[in-house]
Structure 1
Amino acid sequence: MERNVSSLAIVVHSQRYGQLHRKLKLLTVDFGLIDVVSYGARKSVKAVKAEVFLDGQFFLYFNPVKKSYTLSDVQVVATHDEIRSDLGSTYAALFFCEMILNTNGGDSPEQYALLSKALDMLVSHRELANRILIQFIWKLIAICGLQSNLERCPICDRIYDKDEILSFNSQLSAPCCSGCATLDSGMELPPGARRYLLLTSSLDFILAVFIELSETATQRIKNYLLRYASIVSGKALKTLAGGLLQSQL
């Protein structure tokens, strides 16, 4: 592998590394999720700065012996700094990053494209934050290969009735008919919400966000998918602990 490499990437996590440096977690198009050290980032004004949510072309030095990356430079595509001016948008963006980390980058080019669009939309269409959140989860579940087609039960293969309320199977991590549901799930998907998710499953992320939804339906679908996201992650999500994302953004 070349020692000097580059890739489009987004910073999804940042932490202190020693007294002067920062360790970044990047979702890259070419290398998946990787750790990158940014030397002097905490003190030196000349050091390359890369905050969480920054999207850009990252230039890295790869040490083949230590199998580690060092940040050399970054050509910024978007800082997404505007997100930090609003608490709801900030939590939504941090949730996006946490989900990327929990799914280990998955198909990294697709996850990068999804995260980049979601962050851009939080900047340009803050008023659609709830729908952006809904579609990020729904599209990410699809990228991870966990999205049900919502037309027939994945367990018994029965085609759903038009106005059937779907239940959930926790072992399969998927919606199902009531007869195949696990008793501990407590997840129900109404027919209107199912039709919306079916409609938007084949649409591009941005087009899907612009599909109209009532405030009540938006809130119901969002909270359903937030619970779905926790199940897919297999652990409690820090960004959901305070309940802010579950409220109206």
Structure 2
Amino acid sequence: MADQIKVMGMVISSAPIGEHDKRIVLLTKEKGKISAFARGARRPGNHLMAASESFAFGSFYLIYGRDSYTLVNAEISNYFRELAGDITMTYTACYFLELAGYYAVENQNGAEMLNLIYAAFKALLNPSLDNRLVRYVYELKMLVINGEYPDFFVCRVCGAKDNAAGFSISHNGIVCDGCIRNIADAITLCGGTVYTLQYIVYSEIGRLFTFRVSDEVLEELRMVMARCMNTYVDRRMNSLEILDALI
């Protein structure tokens, strides 16, 4: 009999297979993104039914067969069922998982990405935080984790470290007040937005969802992240189509 392994992770997608089974995709701390079959998980009362739903977070026990994993048991510490209480929150969370699935790879440590998802889900449930801000923070930190993101610290034209005045996606970052007038696609940013972008880049995940911003900064973050995601992510997320229609 194949050896059983234990991984910590979250179900990032779940789909029916046949009459009684499910195929799930897990983002795990130890092995990155892995797929597994949950036999009988669609049968009423099956012990894997709830554990094989998207958003379930905890420990998963797997065995590896000839060419795939099979889920045999799970200890779920958080189902995040509260996310289903609001349709916008639900699709924001689905978008977070879809974006994680886009970036995650097999057999690569997934701890940082998993921590980001968990923290973002907790932030979505915090009534004092605007879910749009949670989304923009999550998007930028996901880009940072995967090593491809704009430079928000020095002017991409002259190298100046002060007087940041705007953002240009064609120049892949910040531009100063002396260079912005010559850049056609530049958008003007206030100092609070520049600081917020820098803070997201260098902060640990545990400190990301601890602040609020003005309406002006929130709108500028929206414009910056829309340009970033269109540039760095080459696939339109299905959940994002629905989410944008709801907002």
TM value normalised by structure 2: 0.84
Give 1:201 shift: 2.5
Structure 1 residues 195 and 43: alpha-carbon distance in aligned structure 2, compared to 1, 3 A threshold: same
Tell me the SS of whatever aligns to 2:125: helix
Which residue matches 1:221?
Answer: 221
Which residue matches 2:239?
Answer: 239
- Structure 1: which 5+ residue stretches go unaligned? none
Tell me, yes or no, if the aligned pair for 2:166 and 2:174 is still in contact at 8 Å: no
Which residue matches 1:79?
Answer: 79
Q: Distance in 2 between matches of 1:246 and 1:226?
A: 16
> What amino acid sits opposite 1:175 in the alignment?
G
Tell me the SS of whatever aligns to 1:164: strand
Alignment of 1:1-249 (within 5 A): 3-49=3-49, 50-63=52-65, 65-66=66-67, 68-105=68-105, 108-125=110-127, 127-154=129-156, 156=157, 158-159=159-160, 161-169=162-170, 174-177=172-175, 188=187, 190-192=189-191, 193-242=193-242, 244=244, 247=247
TM value normalised by structure 1: 0.83
Q: Distance in 2 between matches of 1:246 and 1:46?
A: 34
Give 1:119 shift: 1.3
Tell me, yes or no, if the aligned pair for 1:25 and 1:35 is still in contact at 8 Å: yes
Identity over the aligned pairs, expressed in percent?
Answer: 18
> What amino acid sits opposite 2:86 in the alignment?
D
Give 1:200 shift: 3.3
> What amino acid sits opposite 1:54 in the alignment?
A
Structure 1 residues 85 and 52: alpha-carbon distance in aligned structure 2, compared to 1, 3 A threshold: same
Structure 1 residues 72 and 236: alpha-carbon distance in aligned structure 2, compared to 1, 3 A threshold: same
Tell me the SS of whatever aligns to 1:76: strand
Q: Distance in 2 between matches of 1:17 and 1:119?
A: 27
What is the aligned-residue RMSD (CA, Å)? 2.6
Tell me the SS of whatever aligns to 2:25: strand
Per-residue displacement from partner, 1:134-153 (whole Å, max 9, x unpaired)?
21112111101123341224
Give 1:110 shift: 0.7
Tell me the SS of whatever aligns to 1:110: helix
> What amino acid sits opposite 1:56 in the alignment?
G
Structure 1 residues 23 and 126: alpha-carbon distance in aligned structure 2, compared to 1, 3 A threshold: farther
Paired residue total: 237
Tell me the SS of whatever aligns to 2:53: coil
Q: Distance in 2 between matches of 1:239 and 1:160?
A: 38
> What amino acid sits opposite 2:71 in the alignment?
L
Structure 1 residues 176 and 123: alpha-carbon distance in aligned structure 2, compared to 1, 3 A threshold: closer
Give 1:14 shift: 0.7
Q: Distance in 1 between matches of 2:202 and 2:164?
A: 21
> What amino acid sits opposite 1:115 in the alignment?
I
